[in-house]
Amino acid sequence: MEQDIYLFHQGNLRYSYQLFGAHVDVQNGEAGIRFAVWAPNAVQVSVVGLFNDWDGREHPMKKLNDQGVWCVFIPGLETGMMYKYEILTTHGHLRLKSDPYAFSSEQRPNTASIIHPLHDYTWNDEEWMKQRTERNIYESPVSIYELHLGSWKNIESEVFYTYREYADMVIPYVKELGYTHIELLPLTEHPFDRSWGYQATGYYSVTSRYGTPDDFRYFVDQCHQAGIGVLLDWVPGHFCKDEHGLRRFDGEALYEYENPSKAEKSQWGTLTFDFARNEVQSFLISNAIYWLKEYHLDGIRVDAVASMLYLDFGKNDGEWELNEHGGRENIEAVTFVKKMNEAIFEEVPNILMMAEESTSWPLVSAPTYSGGLGFNYKWNMGWMNDMLTYMELDPIHRKYHHHLLTFSLMYAFSENFVLPISHDEVVHGKKSLLNKMPGDYWQKFANLRAFLAYMYAHPGKKLLFMGGEFGQFDEWKDMEELDWKLLDYDSHASIFNYIKQLHQLYKDMPALWELDHKEEGFFWIDPNNNEQSIVSFARNSRATNDQLIVVCNFTPEVYHNYSIGVPEQGFYEEVFTSDAEHFGGSGQTNGLRLKTVPVPWQGQDQQITMTIPPLGVSFLKRTVTKEVEHEE
C-alpha cells in the first residue's frame, strides 16, 4: 500500500481505484469492507451509512500520511450497502460526500455510494478480446452507431429499460444495420438526465438509471459476442458542481483549480479539473483505464478536448489569464493529455482513443514521441461543419459553395479522422439530419442518401447518431424515445434498408477503408465541376483491382452520356447507386457494363460514358473480362 500511495501522490498510480474506494477485504480473520479516500484538507473523515445510522462518530477513518490519504476497515459490512463520507472541514462544516471512487451509486435523485465488488462477473468474450489484439484498426472498416440509451427506447419519459434489456433490443438492431461499433453517450453517474451524462459526479460508477455495473458488463459482453465493439464517451475536462460530488470535496478546491479563472466553465456551469495536481492525474488516468479494463471497452471518445487545451475556451476577455509564456494554451492540460494517452496505450493497447477536438491543434492523433497529443483518432469537425452547411443549401446555390464539398481533402490525411454526424448536430434547434436537407419530400430523402454515400466514400471512419439511419424527421428529443413508427412508412423503411446496403458495400470494399489515412488511398478525377455540382474521385486499397470510382451529383438534374475519366482500360460496372428504385430513388442507373474508350480525359488515360443520377452517388468498379484481356 505504501508504494501505491507514493505513486498516487506522484501522479503515476494507474490503478488508483484498486487502492481507493470500498473494497471487500479480510483483516484479522474478519470479513468486511476497506475504505480509502483522499482528503488532504479535512480535519476528520468518517464512513457513514444505514449501518451506523449515518453517525460519523461510529467509524472515523485514520489519516495515513500528511498528504491526506484516509483509511478504515469496517468488519461485517457487505456488498450492496449504501455509504458516504462525512468530512469535517477546517471551517468547522460537516459535508456529506459521495465516494469519488465508488463503483456503484444510488439512483438519482438519491446520491449515496453503494458497495459493489470490483470483480464479480464472468466474461464470455475471449474470442473478441483475442481478435482485438490482432486487428489493425487503421486498416479496418469502422462505422459507429452513436447511442443515448434512455432516448433510444424507454418505458416512458425518465423510466428506462435495464442494460440487459437494452442488450436484447439494441444488439440485433445494430447488427442488422451492419455497424461495427456502438458509441454510448457518457454513462458515468450524473444527477441530471438532460446533461446526457456530460456533467458527472461518479466517475467510477456506471449510471444506475439502467441497472448495476454487472448489468452493463453483460451489455458489453453480449455486444462482443455479436461482433460489435463498444465505445464510451468520457469527460475528463470538467465536472458538475452538485454538493455531493467533487466540488470542494474536503472544504477546499481539490479536484478543481483554486484559481476561478481556470476553474470556472461558465457556459456549462461546471468546474475544470486541476490537471497540474498529481493526485488528479492519477484519478483521471486510472479512470480511463478502469473503463477499458474492468468493462472491456474497446475505446473512449474524449469529450471537449479543446476546452482542456485552451485557457480562453468559452471565456470572454478579462475572464482568463495568459500562461507563463504569454500564450493561451493550458500547458499542464497539454502535458496531462500526453501522459494520459501514453499510460492508456501502455496498459490497454489496440483500443481507440478518439478526441473531439474542434480546433486546428496540430498532430492530435500523432504519437507523443513525434510531438503529438497521443490520441489515435480525431473527430473531423471541419468536414462535418462544411458538409452540413453545403447540404443545407438549395442545390441551385451549391455551385457557389463548391469548396465546402472539396476542401476537406486538403487536410484529410493530416490526422486519423472519424467523420462524425453526432447528437450535437441534431438537437437544440439544429433540426434532424433529414430535415436539414432542402427540397420537397422526395428531394429530402435523395439528398440524405447522397450525403450518406459521400460520407462513406470519403476517407475516414464513420459515425452516425441514432435516428439518422431511418430518417428521423424531428430533431433529437432527449426525453422521448425515437420515432420508431416512422419505419412503417416506405420512405423511412427505404432509408433503413439503404443504410444496411451501404454498410454491406462499405465492408465488402477494402478501397473504402484500407488506406483511409494514406494519401495513396484517394485521388481526384474531377473536383472542379462546380457548375453542375458534380465531383468524381477514386478510392484505392492495397490490391490494384479493388479500386472504386465514385461519382457524386448534388443537383436534381439527370445527365446522360456524361464522360468520366478512368485510369484503366476495361469494363466498369455500377456496383452501388443511391438512386436505385428500391431505395426510393428515380432509378437512373447504369445497368449495362460501361466500356472504356482510349481517349484521355480529366487527367486519366481512359474514359467512360455514363448516366449521372439526380441527387445521386454512383460507385463503379472495373471488371476485367477475357475480351478485355485479349484486347490488351
**Catalytic residue positions?**
303, 356
Starting at the edge strand found earlier in the chain, the sheet holding 270-272 runs: 238-240, 270-272, 264-265
Query: Which amino acid does the sequence have at 101?
Result: Y
Which residue is listed with cell 488508483?
A: 16
Crossing angle for the helix pair 278-294 and 2-10, nearest 10 degrees?
110
Q: Identify the CA nearest to 287 among candidates 103, 156, 440.
A: 103
> From CA 100, how far away is CA 85, in angstroms rounded?
10
Evaluated on CA atoms 557, 558, 560, 563, the torsion sign reads: positive
Distance of CA 598 to the CA centre of its chain: 47
Residue 348 dihedral angles phi and psi, to the nearest 5°: -135, 75
> From CA 227, how far away is CA 232, in angstroms rounded?
17
Q: Identify the CA nearest to 188 among candidates 279, 290, 258, 54.
A: 290
Q: Which residues pair with 22 in a beta bridge?
A: 35
> From CA 477, how far away is CA 463, in angstroms rounded?
19
Q: Identify the CA nearest to 19 among candidates 35, 40, 41.
A: 35
The answer to whether 580 and 590 are in contact (CB under 8 A) is no
* SS3 readout for 479-537: CCCCCHHHHHCHHHHHHHHHHHHHHHHHHHCHHHCCCCCCHHHEEEEEEEECCCCEEEE
> From CA 190, how far away is CA 481, in angstroms rounded?
20
Give the contacts of 461 (CB within 8 A, at least 6 positions apart): 142, 143, 144, 377, 417, 418, 419, 513, 516
